[in-house]
Structure 1
Amino acid sequence: MKRPAKKVATDRSFVVALARGLDVLRAFRPNDGLLGNQEIAARTGLPKPTISRLTYTLCKLGYLTQVPRFEKYQLAPAAMAIGYAALANLGVRHLSEPFRDELMRQTGGAVAIGGRDRFSMIYFGQSRSSMTVGVQLDVGSRVPIATTAMGRAYIWALPDDERAALLRELREHYGSRWSKLKDGIERAGEMVAKHGFAISVGEWQHDVHAAGVALRLNDGTGPYAFNCGAPAFRFSEELLINDIGPRLLAMVRNIEAALGATAVPLDTRTITNKKSKTGGKLAREVEEI
Structure 2
Amino acid sequence: MKTIQKALDILELFLDRDDEIGLAEIASLTGLNVSTAHRIVATLMKRGYLNQRQKRQKYSLSTKLLQFSHVLSKRMKIRDLAFPILDGLNKMVSESVNIAILDQNEAVYIEHIESNQNLRMFTQVGNRVPLHSTGVGKVFLAHMNDEQLEDFLNGKPLPSYTKNTITDVDKLKHELIIISEEGVGIDDEEREIGVKCIASPIKNSNGGVVAAISVSGPSARLSNKRVQEIKPLIKSCALEISRAMGYQGE
Name the structure 2 match of 1:254: 240
Matching of residue 120 in structure 1 with residue 124 in structure 2: no
Q: Report how far residue 163 of structure 1 moved.
A: 2.4
Matching of residue 192 in structure 1 with residue 185 in structure 2: no
Paired with 2:69 and 2:192, the residues of 1 have a C-alpha distance of: 29
Name the structure 1 match of 2:156: 172
Matched position secondary structure for 1:261:
coil
CA contact (8 A) 1:147 1:181 kept: no
Paired with 2:96 and 2:3, the residues of 1 have a C-alpha distance of: 41
Residues 56/139 of structure 1: CA separation in 2 closer, same or farther (3 Å cut): same
Name the structure 1 match of 2:224: 237
Paired with 2:136 and 2:148, the residues of 1 have a C-alpha distance of: 17
Paired with 2:174 and 2:118, the residues of 1 have a C-alpha distance of: 27
Q: Which runs of 5 or more residues in structure 2 are unaligned?
A: 14-66
Residues 176/147 of structure 1: CA separation in 2 closer, same or farther (3 Å cut): closer
> Which of 85, 94, 104 is 2:80 aligned to?
94
Residues 253/125 of structure 1: CA separation in 2 closer, same or farther (3 Å cut): same
CA contact (8 A) 1:216 1:262 kept: no
Larger Rg: 2
Name the structure 1 match of 2:19: none
Which amino acid counterpart does residue 121 of structure 1 have in structure 2?
A
TM-score by length of 2: 0.65
CA contact (8 A) 1:212 1:228 kept: yes
> Which of 128, 144, 147 is 2:130 aligned to?
144
Residue by residue, what CA displacement relative to the aligned partner does 1:92-141 show, whole Å, maximum 9, x if unpaired?
21111111111111111221111112231001122223327542213211
Residues 61/257 of structure 1: CA separation in 2 closer, same or farther (3 Å cut): closer
Residues 176/208 of structure 1: CA separation in 2 closer, same or farther (3 Å cut): closer
CA contact (8 A) 2:114 2:120 kept: no
Name the structure 2 match of 1:129: 115
Paired with 2:118 and 2:177, the residues of 1 have a C-alpha distance of: 28
Question: Which one has the bigger strand percentage?
Answer: 2
Paired with 1:248 and 1:184, the residues of 2 have a C-alpha distance of: 25
Name the structure 2 match of 1:215: 202
Question: Which one has the bigger helix percentage?
Answer: 1
Matched position secondary structure for 2:153:
helix
Name the structure 2 match of 1:54: 4
Which amino acid counterpart does residue 198 of structure 1 have in structure 2?
G
Residues 152/257 of structure 1: CA separation in 2 closer, same or farther (3 Å cut): same
CA contact (8 A) 2:201 2:209 kept: no
Which amino acid counterpart does residue 194 of structure 2 have in structure 1?
D
Which amino acid counterpart does residue 199 of structure 1 have in structure 2?
I
Matching of residue 109 in structure 1 with residue 95 in structure 2: yes
Residues 165/140 of structure 1: CA separation in 2 closer, same or farther (3 Å cut): same
Q: Which moved more, 1:249-258 or 1:93-102?
A: 249-258
Paired with 1:162 and 1:239, the residues of 2 have a C-alpha distance of: 33
Matched position secondary structure for 1:228:
strand
Residue by residue, what CA displacement relative to the aligned partner does 1:201-245 show, whole Å, maximum 9, x if unpaired?
1001112101111122124764321111111212123321x1112
CA contact (8 A) 1:149 1:227 kept: yes
Residues 86/136 of structure 1: CA separation in 2 closer, same or farther (3 Å cut): farther
Q: Structure 1 vs Structure 2: percent identity of aligned residues?
A: 20
Q: Report how far residue 248 of structure 1 moved.
A: 0.6
Paired with 2:238 and 2:244, the residues of 1 have a C-alpha distance of: 10
Matched position secondary structure for 1:224:
strand
Matched position secondary structure for 2:217:
strand
Q: Which runs of 5 or more residues in structure 1 are unaligned?
A: 1-50, 64-81, 265-289
Matching of residue 205 in structure 1 with residue 192 in structure 2: yes
> Which of 225, 229, 250 is 2:212 aligned to?
225
